[in-house]
Amino acid sequence: MKEIERRRTFAIISHPDAGKTTLTEKLLLYGGAIHMAGSVKARKVSRYAVSDWMEIEKQRGISVTSSVMQFQYQGFCINILDTPGHQDFSEDTYRTLVAADSAVMLLDGAKGVEAQTIKLFHVCRMRQIPIFTFINKLDRAIKDPFTLMQDLEDVLGIRSYPINWPIGTDGDFKGVYNRQLRQIELFTGDRSHGQAIVASTKGSVDDPVFKDLLGEPYYSRLVEEIELLDMAGDEFDLGRVLKGELTPIFFGSAMTNFGVSPFLEEFLKMAPPPGSRVFGDKVISPEDQDFTGFVFKIQANMNPKHRDRIAFIRICSGVFQRGMEAIHSGPEKIVRLAQPQQLMAQEREVIEKAYPGDIVGLFDPGIFRISDVLSARGGLVFTGIPSFPAEHFARVSAKDTMKRKQFLKGIIQLAQEGAIQLYKEPDIGIEEFIVGAVGVLQFEVLEYRLKNEYSVDLNMQMLPHHYARWIVSSPDEPAKLNLTSSTRIIRDSRENYVLLFENEWSIQWAKDKNKGLELSDISP
């Protein structure tokens, strides 16, 4: 119970460039996991690449170490999950957020809510997890804080409650005022440019020393703004925060470290410890004695030298011990959980024990799939990760027919990781596939990874289809159905028949012309 209570597992969501890498690094700095900021950041390569994902992937290994980071702070054990930097809505992001118990939404104070923030916010909403807002880059001129609060409400439809309020916002950021403690904290910059923890002075707002330190204009502005907030703003309600209806706001500068520790301390108090997860008709609570965990991410070739593949497991209940045995759902076979990895900031570490809320990476000899369950008793199915229907399709083959073997290996591997959905056209050999994706960027990722990890150049031809429908029941065999000329009959990786349609009109046509034909947009 003690181990569960002190755990906090969360993801940071943000638009590229808002400062996610910088903030993550500063949290590690405050947690003592790194001693000098700059070590994580320095490895981030040049920007403006096709996507953040590829940018990071260019230096493989970084994503390994930044997939999950664990550190300790004031008795808490913190797990930060890295959300993939895809620009599209992606299934990966959803899966990562299923493993998190809360999210930190990071905004650039000068920009407010941006396009990618909106998408990621909605993914969190679907999961109904608490969302904490950190408004960053206060060392520069930012939008008026009241306008930013209005932005959250207008664009995202969420009410907010500033836990702290900035003092000096026009590029002259001095500190924050904690509304609940009625306390001012002023920071003193040093010469390390944010590489080291900053010093601060803390005390009651009523202490006359702050009036002197801040000077009359800043002090009276603060008093005025606080009065306005107390009068016109929402009341703090932890229940609403936990339901994801009210977002607590923090202000700070990840670059200078001003506001980082006040955020971390209050966030840790409010953020929920590991919560229950639903497995079919069973709810597994973290306090359950028996071990349970599910696979939310699979990543191959994290280290090109080793060609390894790691399955990331979120522990939901019980205690994980190195070398323990668990029942693997699906085949319901016993597997030994050897060589568990915890992926720390800098290096992989073999772990002996882990608790609910923790993420462990297991070496995967190719047996795991997304959503698989590992449990002490077996018989569990994890239903928390929905599969989103693909909306874009392309036909792919290897440019060089001599590379057929690598092509096959790579494409199957990436489908198992959940990077793309894989289909076949009947009567066509293994040299050609149809791939499906929720966002078009996934195709670029596919092309890039096949080239870099399997040395295969792809021929890719986009298809005009946007709807995949599985045949649930049919009056006739698929080839004999009466379909529009553009409709394609394909099969998924488990040999189920799927119809690919260009538009909704042709789906209706198929149903009208074939009495008894039943279709589903979810794979059986």
Query: Given the rule CB under 6 A, which residues bind ligand G4P?
Result: 14, 16-22, 41, 44, 136-137, 139-140, 253-255
Return the number of the residue (106 or 396) whose C-beta is nearest ligand G4P: 106
Shortest distance in whole angstroms from residue 114 CB to ligand G4P: 11
Among 450, 451, 404, smallest CA distance to 431 is for 404
Helical pair 260-270 and 20-30, crossing angle rounded to 10 deg: 80
Token pair in block for residue 99: 């493993």
Q: How far apart are CA 69 and CA 234, in angstroms?
A: 34
Return the number of the residue (52 or 444) whose C-beta is nearest ligand G4P: 52
Return the number of the residue (17 or 265) whose C-beta is nearest ligand G4P: 17
Shortest distance in whole angstroms from residue 148 CB to ligand G4P: 15
Return the number of the residue (134 or 177) whose C-beta is nearest ligand G4P: 134
Shortest distance in whole angstroms from residue 53 CB to ligand G4P: 12
Q: Which amino acid is residue 25, in one-letter code?
A: E
Return the number of the residue (56 or 343) whose C-beta is nearest ligand G4P: 56
Contacts of 378 (CB under 8 A, 6+ apart): 327, 329, 332
Contact 506, 519 (CB under 8 A): no
Q: How far apart are CA 323 and CA 164, in angstroms?
A: 46
Residue 477 phi, psi (nearest 5): -70, 150
Shortest distance in whole angstroms from residue 79 CB to ligand G4P: 19
478: DSSP letter: G
The 3-state DSSP class for residue 5 equals helix
Shortest distance in whole angstroms from residue 103 CB to ligand G4P: 14
Q: How many other C-beta atoms are found inside a 10 Å radius of the C-beta of residue 405?
A: 12
Q: How many other C-beta atoms are found inside a 10 Å radius of the C-beta of residue 208?
A: 8
Return the number of the residue (111 or 322) whose C-beta is nearest ligand G4P: 111
Place of tokens 């000068």: 110
- 450's enclosing H/E stretch is helix 441-454
Q: What are the start-end ranges of the E strands in 344-408?
A: 348-350, 353-354, 359-363, 373-375, 392-398
Shortest distance in whole angstroms from residue 253 CB to ligand G4P: 4
Q: How far apart are CA 329 and CA 311, in angstroms?
A: 14
Shortest distance in whole angstroms from residue 80 CB to ligand G4P: 13
Q: How many other C-beta atoms are found inside a 10 Å radius of the C-beta of residue 502?
A: 16
Contact 382, 294 (CB under 8 A): yes
Shortest distance in whole angstroms from residue 137 CB to ligand G4P: 4
Residue 275 phi, psi (nearest 5): -100, 175
Shortest distance in whole angstroms from residue 134 CB to ligand G4P: 10
Shortest distance in whole angstroms from residue 345 CB to ligand G4P: 15
203: DSSP letter: E
Return the number of the residue (44 or 369) whose C-beta is nearest ligand G4P: 44
Return the number of the residue (15 or 314) whose C-beta is nearest ligand G4P: 15
3-state helix, strand, coil in the chain (%, to 5): 30, 30, 40
Q: How far apart are CA 400 and CA 79, in angstroms?
A: 44
C-alpha angle with apex 299: 438 to 29, nearest 5 degrees? Answer: 105
Token pair in block for residue 439: 């966002």
Return the number of the residue (52 or 358) whose C-beta is nearest ligand G4P: 52
Return the number of the residue (16 or 384) whose C-beta is nearest ligand G4P: 16
Return the number of the residue (194 or 273) whose C-beta is nearest ligand G4P: 194
Shortest distance in whole angstroms from residue 162 CB to ligand G4P: 18
Among 235, 301, 273, 256, smallest CA distance to 100 is for 273
The rounded radius of gyration (Å) of the Cα atoms in the chain is: 25
Q: How far is CA 301 from CA 87, 313, 319, 448, in A?
A: 22, 17, 28, 13
Q: Report how far Cα 386 is from the mean position of its chain's Cα atoms.
A: 15
Return the number of the residue (254 or 359) whose C-beta is nearest ligand G4P: 254
Return the number of the residue (21 or 93) whose C-beta is nearest ligand G4P: 21
Shortest distance in whole angstroms from residue 187 CB to ligand G4P: 12
Shortest distance in whole angstroms from residue 105 CB to ligand G4P: 12
Contact 253, 137 (CB under 8 A): yes
